[in-house]
Amino acid sequence: MLELQKLDGWSTCTRALSRAAFFEVEIQDARTRGPLCFLDKVEPSVSVADIKNLIHKNYPRWYPSRQALKLHPEGKALQDHEILEDLPVGTTATMFFQDLGPQLGWAMVFLSECVGPLLIYLLFYFRLPFIYSRENNYTSSPHTVVNLACICHSFHYTKKLLETIFLHHFSQGTMPLQNMTLNCLYYCGLTAWQAYYINHPLYTAPSYGYLQVICALAVFLVCEIGNFSTHLVLNKIKCNKSRPTEIPYPTENPFTWLFFFVSCPNYTYEVGACVSFAVMTQCLPAALASFLGFVQMIIWARVKHRTYVQEFPDYPELRTAIIPLVL
């Protein structure tokens, strides 16, 4: 059982409330219910983030993003911005600590999720040994669409890598290392599944030939340009951590005009690029990957749309989450 310790919470508050009563906060382990530490003379105006910093000072291995504090062992984790005096607790409060495990920042998460699929697809494209039969090692496909598919796939993930490094703004949020590992396995697995069939020696060209390939390629390029244009707009939006402080509006760039109708045109264009890639290659695994991505982006888009509506009373009523006038 961890040793009970006493910490002074006075230094965490930036302003003094001379007439306010101090709080006493006991931190217990959510799993064992054993005492972890005791915070004395904690001012009512401190936030959950301040309390996490106090715990971190006493237990350096538990940095704030690794901690979850709850009012009940099986309850929902408290948000960092919540204030102690606003919580349903008395002047002697008990909070339960949960170790979330090692964490990684969102920038590192995005980079990891892009590098894997980019490299894995190229392994199948160049037909390295032990993937297909020996006589096909290092051979090239006779189908032009296979080469176009590799160029499009590589372009898509290289673009995402460069946007992550130079364009995107990330909050201080993190993801558990275990979750990131599962995400990487998911994206890499889907990529390997698609790449195996698209680059297979027995791959057959699309049913409608070059017409199908060229039309799908044109849609793919439009969606990629639109996605990049949308990210340029979002890059200029001011945010308070993960909360937007202004509404994104379209610019003179026609690729941003989708903002008139949806809150997350970047997701709309992303789905369009995935669907057009599946049509261009006429590959069932690519179609299934597009569907799974679409479902996930619906969830993300709805959350962001709801955030915009809650933050801004004058938010445009015409906008939907991801599909104009529908969803």
Tell me the per-residue pLDDT of 148-179, one tens digit each, with 9 for 90 and over.
Answer: 999 999 999 999 999 988 887 766 567 888 88
Total-model pTM: 0.80
Q: Which residues pair with 28 in a beta bridge?
A: 35, 96
pLDDT at 17: 39
> Is the separation of the CB atoms in 60 and 21 below 8 Å?
no
Tens digit of pLDDT for each residue in 75-111?
888 888 889 988 988 888 899 999 888 887 777 888 8
- In angstroms, the CA 10 to CA 17 distance is 11
Residue 99 bridge partners (DSSP): 67
Confidence category of residue 317, pLDDT binned at 50, 70, 90: very high
The per-residue pLDDT for 157 is 96
Q: Cβ distance 299 to 305 under 8 Å?
A: no
d(CA 163, CA 230): 12
**Would you say 189 and 181 are in contact if contact means Cβ atoms under 8 Å apart?**
no
Both structure tokens of 285: 């695994």
What per-residue confidence (pLDDT) applies to 159? 96
Pick left, alpha or beta for residue 282 (phi over 0 → left; psi -120 to 50 → alpha; otherwise beta): left
Alpha-helical segments (H) within the chain: 48-58, 106-125, 144-166, 177-198, 209-235, 265-281, 284-311
Q: What is the pLDDT of residues 39-62, one digit of tens each?
A: 888 888 899 989 999 888 888 888
pLDDT at 185 over 50: yes
Confidence at residue 171, expressed as pLDDT on a 0 to 100 scale: 63
Q: Is the pLDDT of residue 10 over 80?
A: no
Classify strands 6-8 and 67-70 as parallel, antiparallel or unpaired: unpaired
Q: What percentage of residues in the chain have a pLDDT greater than 70? A: 92
Distance CA(124)–CA(134), nearest Å, equals 13
Listed residue (86, 2, 78, 79) closest to 38, CA to CA? 2
What are the extents of the domains in the chain?
102-203, 206-327
